[in-house]
Homo-oligomer: A and B are copies of this chain.
Amino acid sequence: MKIDPDDRNSLTETTRQLMGNVAIVLVGPKYPENIGAAARIAANMGISQLIVVSDDPPDQERMRKTATHHNSRLIDTMQMYADLGTALATFSWVVGTSARQGRQRRLLTSPRRMVVDLLPKLAENRVALVFGPEDCGLTNDQLKFCNSVACIPTADFASINLAQAVAILSYELYTGVVQFQSESAGKPSAKLAQSGELEGMYEQIELTLHKMNFLKEMDYGYWMHNIRNFLGRVGLRSREVKFVRGFCRQVVSLAKEKDA
């Protein structure tokens, strides 16, 4: 097919740069064909990176068949990780995906709303869109890494095919970026803390609550869930994470003094 030079307008290069900050993260995909199809649509929408969280490398032939030769570049550069936390460590904004029936209701948002929230952060931050396995989606333990969780609305409340869910979210993001670019040229965007920094902070918060004897043993999970929901939505910067950790250290040393 021929490319029309008129379509390569001045926004295109910046749009490409923004989309280049986005990665698709597939957790435990069962069918290599879905990985290939996700790679193809991600490349179509200018997304630069594909990450698979799995113990077993997927079948190359089945994966490359649906990726098509033209879009095999995301398969060539695909990264594999054994666990989600490590995969997300350098990302500063993590969007999970879920069927409507999930328990993480407070974080649930529509794909369009998710994109609106994400766009101002995209210039300065690496963003991950995380999708669970075909049959069961992301677990609550995996959703805890997410700043927000997008749910694709459906008429029948049934789950959507993995590669089609990737298609819908990638398309929403790309069209959102194109529109955002034309509306907000020049406005600055804040650099957020990375997922690895946040996880260190959450560990320290939980440790601090323990040291304070703040809660009965059985309630920590519940409280940490709420704290993650709240702090995750905020979009903390690195220095704010350092502030929270410093605060926790103070609290712990106070608790020690009291015990002494």
Residues of chain A touching chain B, judged by Cβ–Cβ distance below 8 Å, are: 1-4, 7, 12, 15-16, 19, 37, 40-41, 43-46, 66, 70-71, 99-101, 110, 112, 152-161, 163-164, 167-168, 171, 174-175, 178
Contact = CB atoms under 8 A, between A and B. Distances in A.
A154 B168 contact: no
A174 B158 contact: no
B112 A175 contact: yes
B152 A171 contact: yes
Given A155-B15, A158-B71, A175-B112, A41 B7 contact: no
Which 6 residue pairs of A and B lie closest in terms of their CB atoms, listed nearest first?
A46-B155, A164-B167, A44-B154, A1-B101, A168-B171, A167-B167
Nearest to A66: B161
Given A41-B164, A164-B167, A167-B164, A3 B157 contact: yes
Nearest to A38: B164
A160 B99 contact: no
Contacts of A100: 4, 7
B112 A157 contact: no
A239 to B, nearest CB: 34
Copies of the protein in its oligomer? 2
Nearest to A47: B155
Contacts of A99: 1
13 contacts: A1-B101, A1-B158, A3-B101, A37-B161, A41-B164, A43-B158, A44-B155, A45-B155, A46-B154, A71-B158, A152-B171, A153-B175, A167-B168
A74 to B, nearest CB: 11
Given A7-B157, A156-B43, A174-B155, A37 B70 contact: no
Contacts of A156: 43-44, 46, 71
Contact of A4 (B41, B66, B101): B101
A156 B15 CA distance: 11
Given A1-B159, A158-B44, A160-B41, A153 B168 contact: no
Contacts of A41: 160-161, 164
B161 A174 contact: no
A157 B43 CA distance: 10
B155 A19 contact: yes
